[in-house]
Amino acid sequence: MAEIVNNLRHAIEITNWSASQKAEGLAGFERGLASAMEKRSHLNDALRHYVNSADDLYAYTGEHHSDFVLDNGHISIADPVVLAGFNSKIRQYNAYRGGLLRAKDDFTRFQTDLLKKMNVGGKDVGLQ
C-alpha cells in the first residue's frame, strides 16, 4: 500500500503543473488519503477484534470441552459458571462480528462513493 501511495505522490510531483497546482494536488491527495486510511484502519481494527474474539471463544470451549454435553442435537452446559462464561464469550463474539460487518459496509460504501466521484467503475479497479 505504501508503495502505491508513494507512486501516486510521485506522479503528482512530476506533472508539468505549476508549483501551486502541484501543492494543491498533493494537499487534496493527502486529505483523501487520510479519510481512506481512517476507514481502512477502522475495518482492520474491527477484523482484528473479531478474529481475537473467535480465538478466545474456541480457546474457552477447548478448555471446558468436558462441560459441554450434546443431547439429542442440543448442547447443554450443567456448570452455571462455565455456562455464564460461554454465554459471555458468545455475546462478545457476536458484538465484534456485528462491528466487523458494519465496518465492512462502511468501507465498501466509502469506496463505492469515491469511485463514483472519480467516474470509475468497480470493474476498472478489479473490485467486481
CA dihedral over 85, 44, 39, 37, signed as positive or negative: positive
The confidence score (pLDDT) of residue 37 equals 86
Q: Give me the pLDDT at residue 125, please.
A: 59
Model-level pTM?
0.72
Write down the pLDDT at residue 126.
63
Q: Where are the domains of the chain?
A: 2-119
Chunked mean pLDDT (size 10), the chain, 128 residues: 72 82 80 83 97 98 96 94 98 98 94 76 61
Helices (H), the chain: 2-13, 19-63, 80-117
